[in-house]
Chains A and B, each alone.
Chain A
Amino acid sequence: MSAYRDKDPRIHGIQSKIRVVPNFPKPGIMFQDITTLLLDPKAFKDTVDLFVERYKGKNISVVAGIEARGFIFGTPIALEIGAKFVPLRKPNKLPGKVISEEYELEYGRDCLEMHLGAVEPGERALVVDDLIATGGTLCAAMKLLERVGAEVVECACVIELPDLKGRRCF
């Protein structure tokens, strides 16, 4: 599947709804805020539609959404393409038996967890998050799915920060 280069006319509307907040969470960071996109029902729907059009009919049975903003985009996509939704969460949130995957932060490490039994070997999966920066979180998500024998078909995000070279993880 190729990266989205020919701009669909809906992209401009989506892009214009994303708010950039300087110096959050700390000085020097320009935060890409998708909450303003969610306030525009048409732009939000267009966002979901663009993903659904890409993934419907591709035999994807799992949409894995990364806590918490991945839940916002992942669940509508899962419902529309008829896939199950699997939340990938920070530690100690999921109540059942989990597998964990550590990943690097700028300072220190964090951990992503997934319920055992949620995904079966051989299932085709999509990973969804609002944004890809360094790719650390997405890589951890992919590893979790691959460890249980799923095939990660693609990772999908609303926004990429290409300077952070997240694509090198793929």
Chain B
Amino acid sequence: MLQRALIFSSSNPICSQLPTTAPPDNTVFPKRNGGWIIPFSSYQLPAFRLRNYRRTLLPPLCSASDSAANRPNMASQDEQDPRISNISSAIRVIPDFPKPGIIFQDITTLLLDTKAFRDTIDLFVERYRGKDISVVAGIEARGFIFGPPIALAIGAKFVPMRKPNKLPGEVLSEEYSLEYGKDTMEMHVDAVKAGERALIIDDLVATGGTLSAAIRLLERVGVHVVECACVIELPELKGREWLGEKPLFVLVSST
């Protein structure tokens, strides 16, 4: 077995770069015809709402939802693109993760379907290409999966928005609320310039807290956030309201 690494070698003499709730047993879904089966059975309506956790009450519907009606240069996608159906069915739903009452939308199964993953990226690229967007900001870590391919295809730079103490350079920080307590998002200060047009990418929008923090970080340095884009929306958690007038584009709305 041939095992060799790398493209180029650093002659840096100083050493290393140090490296920075189990699902219940019934969450393995059998594969059929190469795809994952999404269970349609036995959801219970949670007795309480949890902010910042992902959940769905019903099986995902297939729709592209676009709140950019006030932006005439962005085409509306209210008619469902035929690719959406496969994308939606490739997303696995896992109950009671990370804790009881939460229905987790798992995009890792989408990434195993090469056509559906390709289609996901294409749908975003078709929307944003030629719109003079120079920044794609991806939110750690699942935003790092969708953001870079989009950035590469539209010729924009990719800016990772990270948890604290991961970025090595000078950062800006933005706190945001969780259900209990707070978290912080960071961005390198010199990654973007005032006047640039940016897209923010994450796999899913729930309450919108994380996206809002990303918007604030970019706007603090004078960047214009053109739109937020996610694969999945949980509309019951009213993320769109929290984003206010900032447009949100999603491929799949789980209602």
A binding-site residues for B, Cβ under 8 Å: 1-4, 7, 11, 14-15, 19-21, 24-26, 28-33, 35, 38-41, 44-45, 47-48, 50-51, 67-69, 71-73, 75-76, 78-79, 82-87, 89, 92-97, 105-106, 110, 115-118, 131-138, 142, 151-164, 166-167, 170
Contacts and interface: CB of A to CB of B under 8 A. Distances in A.
Interface of B: 1-23, 25, 27-28, 31, 92, 94, 97-98, 104, 106, 108, 111-114, 117-118, 121, 140-141, 144-146, 148-149, 151-152, 155-160, 162, 165-169, 188, 191
A7 B111 CA distance: 33
A170 B18 CA distance: 20
A74 to B, nearest CB: 8
17 contacts: A3-B5, A4-B7, A19-B168, A19-B169, A25-B18, A25-B165, A28-B15, A33-B169, A39-B191, A93-B141, A95-B27, A96-B108, A106-B18, A132-B6, A153-B2, A159-B7, A161-B16
A154 B2 CA distance: 7
A97 B16 contact: no
B152 A76 contact: yes
Given A67-B141, A115-B108, A166-B5, 10 more contacts: A1-B2, A25-B168, A39-B191, A68-B141, A69-B144, A106-B18, A134-B16, A136-B19, A155-B4, A161-B17
Residue from B3, B21, B25, B141 with most neighbouring chain A CB atoms (10 Å): B3
A138 B6 CA distance: 12
A33 B98 CA distance: 32
B252 to A, nearest CB: 17
B207 to A, nearest CB: 19
